[in-house]
Structure 1
């Protein structure tokens, strides 16, 4: 069995930003128009009025202050409330591939590795732009990597499941290097007209380069252990599959977008994730006192604070469990990797940390690493 290390990470951040105040202004304008157009039905009790949102409500519910998106104008148009992501010609790069290539090149540059030396590309994401050909194969072509590539989807846990998949192949000796890339256009799968969730998601792409840990001398994170688990639940769901309705049928798209039973998710996922991490650490002989950093899935600040306290047995100190929600919102599979990319360079050799993502499925994946 070969050792495996993360030698590079990359982050693509869309330049357009939507603040809570901007989002609330657009949502409330939409709600006012809806209520005015359906005033008689609302008065008769046949239609529920759309409630107003507020920046305070959003922050208190999530810890989010802003989010990056691929198209701001479409989201903030009260008559539309979803991004305009025009279809591209078949001979043009897809949006996800462009985002992913940017993140991958940054990861390769950090590691000092030529794309041609990469044996596999795994595009692990919640929301794929198309069914086939695989986005990963397109990224492989644009980068000029060798070997093979494929897509995978385990919702918000896709990154950690992708890391385990790549690590297992490297451990077994079938490949030496792999890119795990997570381009997420979550804005296209969010119902921006639903007050309960209209603020949750943002767009981003992340990537990590995994290499066989032989003859490496640069800064890196050795992967000590990986673990994944799933348990079926309907409490987080998106029906945007082979029965997908046209995106422009604006009034007929609700079940084709992100949906969740938030209270049930909170109640059921937190114990599952906390127990998963605790079991993984115990089996690997990693104590809470020896863990320097938790890079958690960025779904909700309250959830992360709960998990951090359960894992460490106390309230995490500043920097021990970095949150990036306030700037990026929930970016599905990419969230924990954003936290890792932005908050891993300060650890000393021998320091250990844990990457964990969790979400629909239910699914949870954890990766224990050590700075080398």
Structure 2
């Protein structure tokens, strides 16, 4: 069986950033206008008034301080409260494909690869811009890659599921070089008028080049093992789709955007992920003490703190479990890849680490890696 490795990663970050202060100001202005518009109903007790958000609330609940977005003006406009992304004609590259191409080129350049060296492209993301033709095929075409391409969606775990899929292609001999990309326009499915979640997401694109070890550049990351897990839960959901497009409440209704039962998610996902990591460590003959670093899914600082402590047996330092959540917010499938991309260059040959993602589904994926010389 062939050995799969991570040869390089790539990152593209949008040019616009929104601070918590800016987001809170726009939300509170919207809430005040809503309360004025529904003053009669509020006075009659038939509806509850909208309460203000605050920087302190956001940072305590999530650890997020800012987020990068495709469109800033629409999000912080109290009369819009959503990104305004112009629709492109069909003869132009789509927004999501363009983001992925930029991240992919970064990864290819770092690995010294040309697009024609790639055998397969996987576009793994929480939301696709369209159902078909596949985003991955458009990305493949824009880059000039050969082989085949397809999309996959496992919400926030899409990247780790994509890495295992790419690694399986390498192991079986179906491909020697697989490009896995994660373009995430999370602001497009976030309800910016929901106080409990209006701060959660940001936009970004990442790329991971998975290759056969014999052709990988020096300093690559050997994939020691991958493990995937799913358990059905409706506590994190996004019901938008073509089957309910014509629902009476309309496309923009809250039920068609991101929704979650936050406390339930926390209680159920933390032990699920910690147990999965522990099981995977045992299967590989490793212990938590063998890990130099953990690149965890960037959704909630408190969740990561608890998961890391369960795996390592102590409170993780920033060096052991680095955070990008504070500046990028939750970028769904891309979060753990951003953390790996930004905080892996200092590891020495022989040191091991864990890339782990988890989210809606529930879904979770772990990828143990070892730095080579």
**Correspondence for 1:66:** 66
Is the 8 Å Cα contact of residues 80 and 250 (structure 1) preserved in structure 2?
no
User: What is the TM-score with the length of structure 1 in the denominator?
Assistant: 0.98
**Correspondence for 1:175:** 175
Is the 8 Å Cα contact of residues 124 and 180 (structure 1) preserved in structure 2?
yes
What is the Cα deviation at residue 286 of structure 1? 1.3
**Correspondence for 2:210:** 210
Distance 2:74 2:22 in 1: 13
Residues 11, 216 of structure 1: alpha-carbon distance in 2 compared, 3 angstrom cutoff: closer
Matches within 5 A, 1:49-198: 49-198=49-198
1:243-274 CA-to-partner distances (Å, cap 9, x unmatched) read 35489x88942111000000100000000000
Residues 90, 192 of structure 1: alpha-carbon distance in 2 compared, 3 angstrom cutoff: same
Alignment RMSD: 1.3
**Which runs of no fewer than 5 residues in structure 1 stay unpaired?**
none
User: What is the TM-score with the length of structure 2 in the denominator?
Assistant: 0.98
- Secondary structure of 1:353 counterpart: strand
Distance 1:32 1:214 in 2: 61
Residues 106, 297 of structure 1: alpha-carbon distance in 2 compared, 3 angstrom cutoff: same
Distance 1:48 1:250 in 2: 22
**Which runs of no fewer than 5 residues in structure 2 stay unpaired?**
none
Distance 1:314 1:209 in 2: 33
Distance 2:303 2:338 in 1: 17
- Secondary structure of 1:214 counterpart: helix
Residues 172, 52 of structure 1: alpha-carbon distance in 2 compared, 3 angstrom cutoff: same
Structure 1 runs of 4+ aligned residues shifted over 3 Å read 243-247, 249-252
What is the Cα deviation at residue 219 of structure 1? 1.1
Aligned residues: 371
- Secondary structure of 2:214 counterpart: coil
What is the Cα deviation at residue 216 of structure 1? 3.6
1:135-169 CA-to-partner distances (Å, cap 9, x unmatched) read 10000000001100000000000000000001001
After the TM superposition, which of the residue ranges 251-260 and 140-149 deviates more from structure 2?
Answer: 251-260
Residues 334, 168 of structure 1: alpha-carbon distance in 2 compared, 3 angstrom cutoff: same
**Correspondence for 2:287:** 287
Distance 2:258 2:95 in 1: 20
- Secondary structure of 2:223 counterpart: strand
Distance 1:251 1:188 in 2: 12
